[in-house]
Amino acid sequence: MGIACEKETMGRYIARRLLWLLVVIFSVSVITFVIAHAVPGGPFSREKKLPPAVLKQLNEKYRLDDPLWKQYVEYMGGIFIPRLTSGEPSTSYLEDYLINIPLGEYTLRWMNFGPSYKSQSRTVNDVFRENLPVSAELGFYAFLVASVIGIPLGIVAALKQNTWVDYIAMGIAIFGVSVPVIVLGPVLIWLFAIRLPIFLPSGWGSWRAEVLPSIALGLGSSAIIARLTRASLLQVIREDYIRTARAKGLMERVVIIRHALRNSLIPVVTVMGPIFAFLVTGTFVTETIFGVPGMGRYFVTSITNRDYPVIMGTILLFAVVIVIANLIVDLLYAWLDPRIRYD
């Protein structure tokens, strides 16, 4: 009974959080939409001025002449309202659905995030389909690098506090925080792709191209994680229950791993959620330096290009990922600290 009850509470908790996700998406979409359109300049304002007639044609094509509320409703409708269509998919970049479920002679089409105004032969869904997996893969590797380096480094530093081990570990961490990718990236490329051609200076799809950007991207985050792990572990080690565990005569290794570490990871996991969300949705600088065809570039260029559908798509995606990452973090709390309950 107890277990079933607990499970139900957990299920309800997750359901409630996912409902909140809808509220988040709604708020983020309204704010983003309004701000994006409020900024002066439009997608078609450029150095070589377009003749008014052409501008009018383009605005008509993308319905930018409609009132703002109507544009918003149409855009969000395109994403959330499923459509039942028959026949071949549209040949227009204006209609590209992320989800296409064949139902006999009809097809259920859902989630049209719109075209890109700048890359005229791309849609936001193309970016999700082709660029997002690359960013996610890079982010995942970088996250692994960050965790695998960061957590052990923090533990070692805490356990050997104020010894040379601690100083070296924290020296590495400070180096990681203070040397940005924009410096580290070219140095790594020059050393390991040009001087010693072990890796490729750019690209994606082979391990030779993937190692350097993963390290460059992961190192900064590993430093944050290392410092946080150290500080948190130092605090936990001084707690009464650790002293109790030691007094019981448990082996130091068991005390640290079973009792101290698990509790000290709570603040670490808290920051790892957003770090994960940031890493997997694309990082502009790393992707640019290493020529990784991810979606980081779209976050930045969509804004400078006033590419409204791309702005909306990337921001909504980011919102969803960060909400889900935080949800996972919250669920991890319960595992790390049995005192935390969801009801």
Q: List residues binding other proteins (CB under 8 A).
A: 39-42, 44-54, 56-58, 61, 90-93, 118-122, 126, 130-131, 186, 189-190, 193-194, 197, 200-206, 288-291, 293, 297, 301, 304, 306
- Name 154's Cβ contacts closer than 8 Å, sequence gap at least 6: 169, 173, 225, 226, 227, 228, 229, 230, 232, 233, 268
Q: Is residue 248 classed as helix, strand or coil in its secondary structure?
A: coil
Q: Which is nearer to other proteins, 112 or 147 (by Cβ)?
A: 112
Q: Which is nearer to other proteins, 230 or 297 (by Cβ)?
A: 297
Q: How far is it, in rounded angstroms, from Cα 25 to Cα 121?
A: 27
Min. distance of Cβ 210 from other proteins in angstroms? Answer: 13
CA–CA distance from 17 to each of 12, 48, 341 (Å)? 8, 49, 15
Min. distance of Cβ 182 from other proteins in angstroms? Answer: 10
Min. distance of Cβ 141 from other proteins in angstroms? Answer: 18
Q: How far is it, in rounded angstroms, from Cα 147 to Cα 272?
A: 9
Q: How far is it, in rounded angstroms, from Cα 81 to Cα 203?
A: 37
Min. distance of Cβ 281 from other proteins in angstroms? Answer: 16
CA–CA distance from 191 to each of 196, 248, 333 (Å)? 6, 52, 41
For residue 107, give both structure tokens.
């097809």
Q: How far is it, in rounded angstroms, from Cα 134 to Cα 214?
A: 12
User: Which run of H or of E encompasses 83?
Assistant: strand 83-86
Q: Which is nearer to other proteins, 45 or 161 (by Cβ)?
A: 45
Residue-level length of the chain:
343
Q: Which is nearer to other proteins, 218 or 282 (by Cβ)?
A: 282
Q: Which is nearer to other proteins, 16 or 61 (by Cβ)?
A: 61
Min. distance of Cβ 287 from other proteins in angstroms? Answer: 9
Q: Which is nearer to other proteins, 150 or 201 (by Cβ)?
A: 201
Residue in 24, 21, 92, 32 with CA at minimum distance from that of residue 313: 32
Instruction: Judge contact between 142 and 184, C-beta under 8 A.
Output: no
Min. distance of Cβ 128 from other proteins in angstroms? Answer: 12
Q: Which is nearer to other proteins, 162 or 304 (by Cβ)?
A: 304
Count other C-beta atoms under 10 Å from residue 152's C-beta.
Answer: 14
Q: Which is nearer to other proteins, 151 or 307 (by Cβ)?
A: 307
Instruction: Judge contact between 173 and 223, C-beta under 8 A.
Output: yes
Min. distance of Cβ 88 from other proteins in angstroms? Answer: 10
Min. distance of Cβ 282 from other proteins in angstroms? Answer: 12
Residue in 143, 158, 137, 98 with CA at minimum distance from that of residue 328: 143
